[in-house]
Structure 1
Amino acid sequence: CDAAVHHGGPGTMMACLVQGIPQVVVPGRGKPLEAIGRLADLGAVRHLPPADLTPQSLLDSCRTLLEDTGHAKRAMEVREEIARQPSPGAVVPVLEDLVLRHRTA
């Protein structure tokens, strides 16, 4: 998959980011606009507001995403950053330890 077009749900965005896939996001109602905006500013996502959605605007957004290699590069950088983060399995014992320390303090 070279790119994804979707509604801006957090699960879909994260699934794409974990795979390093650049995205065109046409956010649905109640979607995380702040996160979409940050990813768009970073260059991993192209934000297409629903009010601006036309067949031509979607085609143009997809074409830009695929032809400008910077978007794919940014998506891969986000993927690499996610990969550097500790796993939930590594974080949970640290959180448990913090809770236990807090209870005994």
Structure 2
Amino acid sequence: MEDSFAPSSPSKVTTVHILDDGQIVGSLQEFQLVEDRFAWVSRADMITRLLTLRRITDPEKKSVIAIYEQGKVIKEFVNLDEHFPIAAILNAGEVPESK
């Protein structure tokens, strides 16, 4: 029964926290310093998003969940090229919104 929960093809899904000043939180240590600023993010919602994106992301692609402190917005970028620069999502207006 354990195998029933394994994805058929593990897809790369990452989360990125972006501060008001545009800085990307790049490590667990950095996140722990600003964690309270993202207290509005629902863990249950994030788990649902991660599991959904793992299922719909093509094996040769990646998806990103961007969590913006400014405006308290979460955006999903699905099926990006593996070499797509994470910094390009800083200004989400430049990248088509996926969901």
Under a length normalisation based on structure 2, what TM-score does the superposition of the two structures give?
A: 0.30
Greater share of residues in strand: 2
Pick 1 or 2: higher relative contact order, CA cutoff 8 A, min separation 6: 2
- Give the greater-gyration-radius structure (CA): 1
Under a length normalisation based on structure 1, what TM-score does the superposition of the two structures give?
A: 0.28
